Amino acid sequence: MKQQNYLDNLVGVFGHPVAENPGVVIQEAAFADLGLERWHFLTIDVGPDDLGDAIKGLKAFKMRGINCTIPHKIEVLKFLDAVAPSARIIGAVNTIVNDGGKLTGHNTDGQGFMIALQGAGVDPKGKKVVVLGAGGASRAICVELALAGAAKLTVVNVPRDQALADGLMRTLRENTRVEALYVPWEGKLTVPAGTDILVNATSIGLYPNVNDKPNIDYDSIGKGTYVQDVIPNPAFTPFLREADQRGLRWQSGLQMLINQAALNIVMWTGKQPNKEVMRQALEKALA
């Protein structure tokens, strides 16, 4: 008789709110494609006061890992045994790997962004980059860009949260060699001449606010500027439409999302997923 193993391998996401997080769709499509029958991705609503108990549960269930999303990305640091260098600099973790009870935190948001850039044939080394927004996604992206050798990083953010931008400037200057500059976002932004890469790392344009776009003088974007959005839903935002209408090269946040999910799968299962399968599953779910 064949020996059976019905043990489930569990991964998932802790967040609040989390019901609309599409991680399960992408991850389970990859598991099925890889023939990982007993791997399951659980979408788990964990309130801010319950994170410690949830982490105990993760260990008790011997879950292989977990993603953390709003509001846990920073708070979770205190429950970890180790933190990857870039996640330590970013100051936030979105992926945890459980090696026999030892929890290591990673930040795959910025790494997913970098792989998306590479996929588009864009090397940030020595480049001048303008990043809109100074929130969590911006921090991850800015740190990775700086570590990859970007020459100049201009972070544009509304002055209503000065502390965010100040913190990011300090992080970049203390941990990397990039020339970091903060520009308060007041009125219509003129994109500095000579910008090689323009990134929307704000939440402007995210569903349901699908008609919103960053307040920019779009005609000020140089002809050679590469434009990248972080918004995964919808994939084609008004920001990207402006870039497209001007004949600029651009990429949506979808690829970044797929890449970071693919990195999670590699970390958890040791197997390389098929990103095309993941992309198709996500597009079908978001359609």
Where do contacts with ligand NDP occur on this chain (CB under 6 A)? 109, 112, 133-138, 157-158, 160-161, 164, 185, 202-204, 206, 230-232, 253, 256-257, 260
- 3-class DSSP state of 243: helix
Minimum CB separation of residue 159 from ligand NDP in Å reads: 8
Nearer to ligand NDP, 59 or 181 (CB): 181
- DSSP 8-state symbol, 107: -
Return d(Cα 130, Cα 277) in angstroms, integer.
32
Minimum CB separation of residue 27 from ligand NDP in Å reads: 13
Nearer to ligand NDP, 171 or 260 (CB): 260
- Amino acid found at 56: K
- Nearest Cα neighbor of 29 from 287, 284, 270 is 284
- Annotated active-site residue 271? The verdict is no
Minimum CB separation of residue 60 from ligand NDP in Å reads: 29
Measured at CB, which residue is nearest to ligand NDP?
A: 135
**Annotated active-site residue in 2, 62, 73, 125:** 73
Question: Residue 186's CB: how many other CB atoms inside 10 A?
Answer: 10
Return d(Cα 56, Cα 74) in angstroms, integer.
17
Nearer to ligand NDP, 84 or 257 (CB): 257
Q: Tell me the C-alpha to C-alpha distance, in Å, between residue 202 and each of 16, 169, 215.
A: 20, 17, 11
Nearer to ligand NDP, 92 or 150 (CB): 92
Active site residues: 73
